[in-house]
């Protein structure tokens, strides 16, 4: 039996330790240029170029062929996608599964819409890898992973909402007020949609609000993953804040790749966490 885990690049993950893993890139299109969100993308250069643009930009999900290529010749496959409200990645992966099964009828494939992005997807991928290591059956993987998904959450803190507004993901009115008052927007993923839950003036207050919202959502204090878009100071401050309240918490710090950097923008923070 050959096992494989796949995710689109909305997860920020490019490798998984001791696991056959593939990342399928989402593409950012801006200023007549395409930024393919793979491991070779210069994210800093991309964000710098995007900030200088006055025209709208957009994204394109991986196509069916890209998903099929990533499936390879595996027998048991777990494919996790960014929320379907931000991308057509889930739909493409489902269609790829149907085509793959026509040629490999004995294969077993779980395509999971994370209903989220970034570090929450990373938690799901790491849990799937643990199930693979434990030689779990496909039915066990499907049951346990979908259950685990219900016990994870995502929160984010953003300095800029430009790309979210331009792509219709957040209200332009909310962004305008935020920019005028120089507020950071705190948000979460609600049924796959990005939803503002609060505002804070300055990073320190935003970080305190993030922890408060984590606790309100049932954070169990066991595991969290923090991703930042060129905001290492903020990521470390949030990690410290979590550790003060939950000393035994396992915390991973990582950076956003292309797609999450596109939406979170410079200064953005995202935190995925386990819930009760």
- CB 102 within 8 Å of CB 95: no
Q: What tokens appear for 133 in the block?
A: 């290591």
Q: Quick one: tokens of 126?
A: 């790491």
Q: Which of 235, 234, 230, 218 is nearest to 258 (CA)?
A: 230
Contact 155, 117 (CB under 8 A): no
Find the radius of gyration of the CA atoms of the chain.
18
Map out the domains of the chain with their CATH numbers: 3-26+61-149 (3.40.50.10440), 152-275 (3.30.1180.10)
d(CA 101, CA 163): 37
Q: Could you tell me whether strands 250-255 and 27-30 are parallel, antiparallel, or unpaired per DSSP bridges?
A: unpaired
Q: Confidence band (pLDDT; 50, 70, 90) for 171?
A: low
Taking residues 202-224, what's their average pLDDT?
Answer: 97
Q: Rounded mean pLDDT of the chain?
A: 93
Q: Tell me the pLDDT tens digit for each residue of 17-59.
A: 999 999 999 999 999 999 999 999 999 999 999 988 888 889 9
82-116 confidence digits (pLDDT tens): 999 889 999 999 999 999 999 999 999 999 999 99
| CA atoms of 93 and 88, how far apart (whole Å) | 9
Q: In the prediction, which pLDDT does 170 show?
A: 60
Enter the DSSP assignment of 37.
-
Please give the structure tokens belonging to residue 151: 């016990």
pLDDT digits (tens, 9 = 90+) for 8-18: 999 999 999 99
Contacts of 135 by beta carbon, 8 Å cutoff, 6+ apart: none
Note the pLDDT of residue 162: 72
- Asked if 57 contacts 50 with a C-beta cutoff of 8 angstroms, the reply is yes
**Residues of the chain above pLDDT 70, percent:** 92
| 33 φ, ψ (degrees, to nearest 5) | -125, 145
Q: pLDDT band for position 272 (50/70/90)?
A: very high
Tell me how far apart the alpha carbons of residues 124 and 116 are, in angstroms, rounded to a whole number.
10
Q: What is the pLDDT of residue 168?
A: 58
pLDDT at 183: 85
Among the listed residues 35, 40, 98, the one whose alpha carbon sits nearest the alpha carbon of residue 67: 98
pLDDT digits (tens, 9 = 90+) for 245-264: 999 999 999 999 999 999 99
- Of residues 161 and 10, more confidence is placed in 10
**Phi-psi region at 18: left, alpha or beta (left = phi > 0; alpha = psi -120 to 50):** left
User: What pLDDT, in 10s, does the model give residues 124-156?
Assistant: 999 999 999 999 999 999 999 999 999 999 999
Beta carbons of 145 and 114 less than 8 angstroms apart: no
Q: Please list, in sequence order, all residues whose beta carbon lies within 8 angstroms of the beta carbon of residue 56, skipping any fewer than 6 positions away.
A: 166
For 48-88, write each residue's pLDDT tens digit: 999 888 888 899 999 999 999 999 999 999 999 999 988 99
Pairing status of strand 193-200 against strand 152-158: unpaired
The pLDDT value recorded for residue 53 is 87
Q: Count of residues for the chain? A: 276
Which residue in the block uniquely carries the two structure tokens 């050959």?
A: 2
- In angstroms, the CA 251 to CA 225 distance is 6
Query: Residues with Cβ < 8 Å from 109, sequence gap 6 or more?
Result: 71, 76, 77, 78, 79, 97, 100, 101
180 confidence band (pLDDT: 50, 70, 90): very low
Characterize 132-144 residue by residue with b for buried, 16 or more Cβ atoms within 10 angstroms of its Cβ, and e for exposed.
beeebebeebbeb
């Amino acid at each position: 039996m050959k096992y494989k885990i796949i995710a689109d690049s909305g997860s920020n993950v490019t490798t998984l330790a001791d696991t056959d893993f593939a990342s399928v890139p989402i593409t950012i299109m801006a200023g007549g240029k395409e930024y393919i969100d793979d491991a070779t993308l210069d994210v800093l250069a991309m964000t710098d170029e995007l900030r200088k643009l006055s025209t709208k930009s957009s994204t394109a999900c991986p196509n069916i062929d890209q998903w099929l290529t990533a499936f390879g010749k595996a027998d048991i496959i777990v494919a996790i996608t960014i929320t379907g409200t931000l991308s057509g990645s889930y739909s493409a992966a489902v269609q790829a599964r149907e085509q793959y099964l026509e040629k490999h009828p004995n294969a077993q494939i779980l395509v999971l819409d994370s209903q989220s992005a970034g570090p929450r997807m990373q938690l799901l991928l790491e849990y799937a890898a643990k199930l693979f290591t434990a030689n779990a059956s496909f039915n066990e993987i499907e049951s346990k992973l979908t259950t685990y998904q219900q016990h994870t959450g995502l929160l984010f803190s953003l300095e800029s909402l430009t790309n979210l507004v331009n792509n219709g993901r957040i209200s332009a009115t909310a962004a305008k007020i935020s920019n005028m008052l120089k507020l950071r927007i705190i948000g979460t993923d609600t049924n796959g949609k990005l939803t503002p839950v609060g505002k804070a003036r300055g990073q320190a207050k935003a970080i305190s609000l993030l922890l408060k919202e984590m606790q309100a959502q049932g954070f169990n204090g066991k595991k969290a993953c923090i991703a930042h878009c060129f905001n290492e100071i903020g990521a470390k401050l949030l990690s410290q804040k979590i550790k003060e309240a939950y000393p035994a918490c396992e915390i991973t710090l990582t950076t956003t790749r292309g797609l999450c950097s596109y939406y979170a923008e410079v200064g953005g923070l995202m935190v995925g966490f386990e819930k009760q």
